[in-house]
Structure formats: structure tokens, C-alpha cells
């Protein structure tokens, strides 16, 4: 996967500030908010409407068949049960549980 040349940022501080459990921000560098379809394995990065990679989990850019319910304005509010939130780091998808118990090199 290649990101555009203009896309470069760190979400470590943003994510670390929003967590209620202790974790080193250094461990979070490079994690991009994403969703994974558990049945197909397809992973989608969270994106703003203009295509930029988002620094938080957003539902708006997900495929229509991943959405179970939309509000009156057509925005996704509920995803199908097969979709899980997590983070993409390199080519690895990390669930929220993976972040709670990372398998770190010794």
C-alpha cells in the first residue's frame, strides 16, 4: 500500500491522549485508524471525504455493504457485525485487543 506523498503525520500523541490505560506513545507511531471485514480480510483505512487519511476512526468512507444503518442524512451510524475497528501498521492489522497485549520483541 502506498500513501500519497503529501500524507505524512504521526497519530501517536492523539491516540495516547485519548487512551484510559497506560501505553507508550512511541509504541503507537505509524498506527493508522482502519476497519477490517472479518470474513473477507479486507482492510480499509479511515479517510476524510477529500481522500486524506484520517487520524481517527470515521465511518463515512467505508464501502456501502459494510454499513447496516444510516441516519436521515445518509451517514453511516451502524456497521455490520463482521466489521471490526483497529489500526493498520505497515501491512499488519491490529485490533484494539492486540494493542492491549502487544507481542513485543525481547
Q: Please identify which residue in the block is written with the cell numbers 491516540.
A: 15
The residues, ordered by sequence, that sit 6+ positions from 77 with a Cβ below 8 Å of its Cβ are 59, 69, 70, 71
pTM for this model (two decimals): 0.70
pLDDT band at 81 (very low <50, low <70, confident <90, very high): very high
The model's pLDDT over 24-50, given as tens digits with 9 standing for 90+, comes to: 555 557 889 999 999 999 999 999 989
C-alpha cell at 76: 453511516
Mean pLDDT of 74-100: 92
- Asked whether residue 55 is domain-assigned, the answer is yes
Question: By residue range, what is the domain housing residue 41?
Answer: 30-100
- Asked whether residue 12 is domain-assigned, the answer is no
* Total number of domains constituting the chain: 1
- Asked whether residue 25 is domain-assigned, the answer is no
- Asked whether residue 37 is domain-assigned, the answer is yes
The model's pLDDT over 50-77, given as tens digits with 9 standing for 90+, comes to: 999 999 999 999 999 999 999 999 999 9
Going by the DSSP 8-state scheme, the letter that residue 91 receives in this structure is T
- Asked whether residue 6 is domain-assigned, the answer is no
- Asked whether residue 3 is domain-assigned, the answer is no
Amino acid at each position: 500500500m502506498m500513501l500519497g506523498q503529501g500524507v505524512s503525520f504521526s497519530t501517536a500523541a492523539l491516540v495516547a491522549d485519548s487512551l484510559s490505560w497506560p501505553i507508550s506513545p512511541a509504541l503507537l507511531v505509524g498506527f493508522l485508524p482502519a476497519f477490517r471485514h472479518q470474513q473477507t480480510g479486507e482492510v480499509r483505512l479511515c479517510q476524510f471525504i477529500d481522500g486524506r487519511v484520517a487520524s481517527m476512526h470515521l465511518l463515512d468512507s467505508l464501502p456501502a455493504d459494510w454499513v447496516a444503518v444510516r441516519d436521515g442524512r445518509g451517514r453511516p451510524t451502524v456497521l455490520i457485525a463482521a466489521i471490526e475497528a483497529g489500526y493498520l501498521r505497515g501491512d499488519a492489522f491490529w485490533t484494539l485487543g492486540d494493542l492491549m497485549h502487544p507481542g513485543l520483541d525481547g
